[in-house]
Chains A and B, each alone.
Chain A
């Protein structure tokens, strides 16, 4: 992150064999913002999120943090530490809800007593305290999604990357998820959410980016914040209008 907490990806390129999947000049993620990424199936949304999360290598990419630009490979571990990526269908370990929730804290060496307190508070917050000893795979889809978000939230990441978190959800669950995301958002967290479509009502303050032919564009004007000459989405891309 820069001194203002921004994380900037520069000259990001990705090919799959002959196909040019991503070609992004600049992408900035700033805390306190939810960036909404749209694009059709196969546009490269998942690939982009995984590259940002340090899970999949780009062909080339520089990352600007701590006042200097470094190659993606050099900051890969840092990216993994600062970001949490959630799959479209979150993976639940074959363990109890409590063990799933505490996984990240356990592997990052948080002491047991602190871990227990944090997990207990979070279980209550997401309304799953009654299911604490159940195998996480027996939860409903909506409950698993909440558990996965809480599991990420406990780690207090700088950036949360969500891959189509509301796909295949009914409107009630979609609204619940968006409410939880708004609740999670604070001055130190940036959130990037990908999906096919988004209604303005679900996330009125989202910045919209559209991925097409491997390039990021500011989203449709109808989704920009009203009364601004230059959309925050363009700031995010560093595009001069």
Chain B
């Protein structure tokens, strides 16, 4: 789900702006995990490398 990393990052930014530092850092960590999972889903797409 590609929208999940952006949603979590938005949540982290809003939470930080409201003054909750530790919660926002944890939300960022979850967002980073979602971002890396999205990358994992697309990392296997064909490479155009001629060897």
Chain A complexes with chain B: no
**Which residues of A come within 8 Å of B, CB atoms?**
none
Residue numbers of B with Cβ under 8 A of A are none
